[in-house]
Amino acid sequence: LSDTQLCNTFGPGYRMLLIGAGALAEYLSSMAVSCGFAVTVCDPRVEYRSRWPDPQVTVVDSMPDDAVTAFAPDPRSCIVALSHDPKLDDLALIDALQSPAFYVGAIGSRRNQAARRERLMTHFELDADTMDRLHGPAGLHIGSKTPAEIAVSIMAEVLACKNGVATAHRTGSDVMAIEAPVAATPGGSRGAAPSRVVAAGSANA
């Protein structure tokens, strides 16, 4: 900056791919656009896709695995599975987790996250380290319960990862440890429950 010049340095922009075009995707995409992300929403279901309201967002009708391939994730990309349909979310996550995307997340209960981990490792041969990249349930714990609040929690976690701020990253292995039975103590009483990291909200818990 001088009396006669103003210089800005521009690099590649940040991008977000959302799987599923429901209400949560509408809130999250709006926040992401406001934060400077170029947003693509993928949903092959015409009943969801056809009523998408935001012209600032690119909407595609391809299957999620094809959408991830076309999206070509890089280190400035994030991918969030929001459809609540394993047939759609899993297709996206298989490729997303093996990509250089800086954030990969999925909504769903702790039980569903554990089932997803087992499913992807057993049937699609993803290893534990790859699955541990998954933020699931996606979002920071803020007690969120509505789609708008859950979108805030997910956007906050995405921005924390983007900006290099450490968070309580929930992984599938954490979920499996939480859901494991508590062993009884020698005296017959049950031992202390393992520590819990609470999910983003009831819709995510």
Residue 1 lies in a domain: no
- Distance between CA atoms of 110 and 72, rounded to whole angstroms? 29
Residue 205 lies in a domain: no
**Can you give the pTM of this predicted structure?**
0.80
| pLDDT band (50, 70, 90) for residue 42 | very high
Residue 133 lies in a domain: yes
Residue 9 lies in a domain: no
Residue 112 lies in a domain: yes
Residue 48 lies in a domain: yes
User: Which position has the token pair 């089932």?
Assistant: 115
CB of 157 within 8 A of CB of 138? yes
How many structural domains comprise the chain?
Answer: 1
Dump pLDDT digits (tens) for 117-172: 999 999 999 999 999 999 999 999 999 999 999 999 999 999 999 999 988 766 54
CATH of the domain at 53: 3.40.50.720
Domain that holds residue 42: 15-179
Residue 188 lies in a domain: no
Residue 56 lies in a domain: yes
What DSSP string runs through 74-94? -TTEEEEE-SS-HHHHHHHHH
* Single-letter residue type at 204: N
The closest alpha carbon to 83, from 155, 154, 23, 158, belongs to: 23
Q: What is the mean pLDDT of residues 11-17?
A: 92
